[in-house]
Amino acid sequence: MKKSKIPDDLINRLWKYFASVKLTVTLLIILALSCIIGTVIPQNESPAAYFFRYGEFFYRAFSALDIFDMYHSWWFQFMVFLLAANIVVCSIDRLSSTWKVIFKKSPSFDIAKLKNSYKEEFTAVHTHGELKTLFMPVLLRLFKYARVEDKENGFVIYAEKGRWTRLGVYAVHLSVVLLLIGGLIGSYFGFDGSVIIPEGKSIKSIILRNTGSDQPLDFEIRCDDFNVTFYESGMPKEYRSGLTILENGKPVLKKDVIVNDPLHYKGINIFQSSYGMLEPEEISLSFTDRKTGSVYRTKTSVGKEIELPETFGKFVLDKYSRAYSFMGHDLGEAFSGMLTPIKGEPVQVILPLKYPGFDKMRKDELIISAEDTQRQYYTGLQITRDPGVPIVYSGFIMMIIGCFIAFFMSHIRFCVEVVKKRGKSIVVIAGISNKNKIGMEAKTKKLAKLLSNKL
């Protein structure tokens, strides 16, 4: 028995520590300050970028403290955990006394407090019995609870309502805990990834954002078509992917997905996130003889060698780039190739798809140009699963309702005291509330008016 005393004491001290508002305030301030760091130092960039920006010393120091992925660092999550523990312990600690106040059959009224509060007074000529029958219906209509206590020289009616509103603050605290639990569930049982699907193709697995590994899906997603529309100013107006869900090769669901209107299937959410054009597999090339004007056309693909007529030699496409940079200018999509004349050195040729006349600049006898052919789009989808969302959303609802109750509704208690004095009855009305004390004055006046009007 003796042994357990020390741990008991320790537990008590720990409990008291976690039940303190000082801890809450400290944690809130530290969390606020450390969040600032995360907004000033960009998160999750490449090590090289950080090294370049901060130099070796700070790069090492910051990465030792996980500052580059701060919100997932052990110390940040530990503080969030402490806050959660603080909220839970605080709430349990205080709930027991609140519980006693709320679930009492006959509520107690703090006479001393009521005596000290704002009062309204008027006189009546009625008997006490008459006053009781006049007042009680009014109070019972306005309040959830009212009782009469007879005194030596008169009587007192106690009335109250809104006892349950004392639970509002616990709802807010519980909502924060729900948000954290929901977030935890999401990070353990959910995933967040992306996938690129060319028009007409389908996929069965996606690439996870954090790890870059494959995540297989229980079904297939096919992209039937993709469309992008623009405003006159060139700003994108809408990205639309026609998607079909396939189970065992059979289509089960069809939907057009646009930004802000995702597809939900079997707990998995599919969002429009990016798009692009596929690298052309085959390309039409034209070779123009500057002198004679004769044109030779052919189709080719990267790596295939073409024999050119006359003495022009051989041509081979060696590379495709999505955004070719020429002397600092972005030429957009372009092929590069090598022209090897029969006589002379090989030359590199750039063939931007947007500028078919680009090769004229080479001032050679032969002008080569690539023609943009009808090509396929691909759609970039973000695919997530988060089983924590319903819990997070219930936390959201609870937080709003809880804040409203905690801030703007209160437990109101009134006492209406009737005392006989020189043949008249003096009625004194006093009220207290656990919040918004200024508002109580107006409420007391209103009740006094209502009761005196009954006379």
The least distance separating another protein from the CB of residue 113, rounded to whole angstroms, comes to 16
What is the longest distance spanned by two Cα atoms in the chain? 133
Per CB under 8 A, 15 contacts another protein: no
Which residues in 88-180 belong to E strands, given as ranges? 119-124, 145-151, 154-161
Per CB under 8 A, 398 contacts another protein: no
The least distance separating another protein from the CB of residue 138, rounded to whole angstroms, comes to 26
The least distance separating another protein from the CB of residue 208, rounded to whole angstroms, comes to 13
| Count of residues interacting with another protein (CB under 8 A) | 50
Per CB under 8 A, 31 contacts another protein: yes
- Which residue of 1, 6, 48, 438 would you call a contact of another protein, by CB under 8 A? 438
Euclidean distance between CA atoms 141 and 130, whole angstroms: 18
Angle at Cα 213 formed by Cα 207 and Cα 219, nearest 5°?
Answer: 50
**Using CB under 8 A, which residues numbered 167 to 196 contact another protein?**
169, 183, 192
- Which residue of 1, 64, 235, 323 would you call a contact of another protein, by CB under 8 A? 235
Nearer to another protein, 137 or 236 (CB): 236
Q: What are phi and psi of 22, to 5 degrees?
A: -55, -45
Beta bridge mates, 275: 379
Nearer to another protein, 138 or 440 (CB): 440
**Among the residue ranges 141-149, 213-221, 279-287, 434-442, the one whose residues contact another protein (CB under 8 A):** 434-442
Q: Which residues of 236-266 are buried (b: 16+ CB within 10 A; e: fewer)?
A: eeebbbbbbbeeeeeeeeebebeeeebbebe
Do the Cβ atoms of 144 and 158 come closer than 8 Å?
A: no
Rg for the chain, CA atoms, rounded:
39
Nearer to another protein, 164 or 408 (CB): 408
Cβ atoms within 10 Å of 422's Cβ, excluding its own: 6
- Which residue of 1, 6, 36, 323 would you call a contact of another protein, by CB under 8 A? 36
Do the Cβ atoms of 391 and 409 come closer than 8 Å?
A: no
Per CB under 8 A, 399 contacts another protein: yes
SS3 25: helix
- Which residue of 85, 184, 207, 403 would you call a contact of another protein, by CB under 8 A? 403
Which residues in 266-407 belong to E strands, given as ranges? 268-277, 283-289, 295-300, 305-307, 314-321, 325-326, 329-330, 334-340, 347-352, 366-371, 377-385
Nearer to another protein, 300 or 433 (CB): 433
Beta bridge mates, 241: 226, 257
**Using CB under 8 A, which residues numbered 252 to 271 contact another protein?**
258-260, 262, 269, 271
Helices and strands of the chain, counted as H and E runs:
9, 22
Per CB under 8 A, 28 contacts another protein: yes
**Using CB under 8 A, which residues numbered 70 to 89 contact another protein?**
71
- Which residue of 213, 387, 408, 454 would you call a contact of another protein, by CB under 8 A? 408
Residue 406 identity: A
Per CB under 8 A, 441 contacts another protein: no
Residue 183 token pair: 């977030």
- Which residue of 53, 436, 449, 454 would you call a contact of another protein, by CB under 8 A? 436
Nearer to another protein, 31 or 208 (CB): 31
- Which residue of 29, 278, 295, 342 would you call a contact of another protein, by CB under 8 A? 29
**Among the residue ranges 18-26, 145-153, 355-363, 420-428, the one whose residues contact another protein (CB under 8 A):** 18-26
Euclidean distance between CA atoms 316 and 102, whole angstroms: 86
Euclidean distance between CA atoms 337 and 312, whole angstroms: 14
SS3 300: strand
Residue keyed to tokens 């004769």: 294
The least distance separating another protein from the CB of residue 252, rounded to whole angstroms, comes to 21
Do the Cβ atoms of 407 and 136 come closer than 8 Å?
A: no
Question: Per-residue contact track with another protein, 43 to 72, x per CB under 8 A?
Answer: x---------------------------x-
**Using CB under 8 A, which residues numbered 323 to 382 contact another protein?**
382
Q: Interface with another protein by CB under 8 A: which residues?
A: 21, 24-25, 28-29, 31-32, 35-36, 38-40, 42-43, 71, 169, 183, 192, 231, 233, 235-239, 258-260, 262, 269, 271-273, 382-384, 386, 389, 392-393, 396, 399-400, 403-404, 407-408, 436-438
